[in-house]
Amino acid sequence: MAGGPVITLLTDFGTGDSYVAEVKGVLLTRVPGAVLVDVTHEVGAGDILSAQYLLARTWHRFPAGTVHLVVVDPGVGSPRRALAARQAGHGFVAPDNGVLTPVLAGAQVVSLPVPPDAAPTFHGRDVFAPAAAALATGVALGTLGTPVSDPLQRPGPEPQERDGALVGVVVHVDRFGTLITNLPADRVPATAHVEIGGRDAGPLRRTFADVPTGRLLALSGSGGTVEVAVRDGSAARTLGAASGTVVRALPR
């Protein structure tokens, strides 16, 4: 692979501290020439649902052989397991807290040992980064730990049909304040109106420019699900909505 193996990073570390740099330092020391791709470091603190969404949306966009390092780990230092996995030619390293749910079906999974000198509050640097580096250099998964048959899976909520409406929730809020839901856009009829926070966002639009500035709208997003936005504004701020907020597609 030109430029070295690809390792993606998806964390809730933010970029105001040294944490991301320390993880990257470990990776580059062990895999010189690695291509490090920041998916994001702005996942809400401990927001496993959002991390699942972002992982599911991105991992398959990368070439086979890519290793995906996911550290959203509110249980760091606790007895929760540290995992490494292989699925469809990709490697994954993450805590055993459900964050890997989107890729676990049929995956090979092992539990990683925690070195005695690992900082209890920074397994991202001392446990997960070394394992990701090992996978990126071709180390066999089975040599990294012991097989796991019961990794924790936390499937996100599924849309439900209720009284003729399709009901779901917000699963991610992007940096623009757009509310990304779990409602598949292809299950929302053209005549339906999307309602969230007691507000009518109207029928699905094609793009933001289909409504005037400041107007609330619903649209079919690039990930294939319904999104709610405010043109040139923030739907999250306007509606006071966040991950878990209920959204409905109502027949009209």
Average pLDDT of the residues in 221-245: 95
Instruction: Give the pLDDT mean for 98-125.
Output: 97
Where in 90-185 does DSSP place strands (E)?
Answer: 90-95, 108-111, 146-147, 160-162, 165-173, 179-184
Summarize the confidence of residues 31-53 as an average pLDDT.
95
Q: How many whole angstroms separate alpha carbon 127 and alpha carbon 135?
A: 13
Based on DSSP, count helices (H) and strands (E) in the chain, helices before strands. Answer: 5, 16
Q: Which residues lie across from 217 on neighbouring strands?
A: 229
Please check the confidence at residue 1 and state whether its pLDDT lies above 70: no
Given a cut of 70, is residue 2 above it in pLDDT? no
pTM confidence score: 0.90
169-227 residue pLDDT tens: 999 999 999 999 999 999 999 889 999 988 999 999 999 999 999 999 999 999 999 99
Write the secondary structure of 22-72 as one string of H (helix), E (strand) and C (coil): HHHHHHHHHCCCCEEEEEECCCCCCCHHHHHHHHHHHHHHCCCCCEEEEEC
H/E run at residue 79? none
175 and 54 in contact (C-beta within 8 Å)? no
Domains assigned to the chain: 6-147 (3.40.50.10790), 160-250 (2.40.30.90)
Average pLDDT rounded to a whole number, residues 129-155: 97
Mean pLDDT over residues 61-89, rounded? 97
The confidence score (pLDDT) of residue 198 equals 86
198 or 125, greater pLDDT = 125
Is the pLDDT assigned to residue 132 strictly greater than 80?
A: yes
What confidence tier does 156 reach under pLDDT thresholds 50, 70, 90? confident
**What distance in Å separates the CA atoms of residue 72 and residue 156, rounded to the nearest whole number?**
16
pLDDT tens, residue by residue, 43-71: 999 999 999 999 999 999 999 999 999 99
The HSE-up count of residue 26 (CA atoms within 13 Å, CB side) is: 20
At 3 the pLDDT is 77
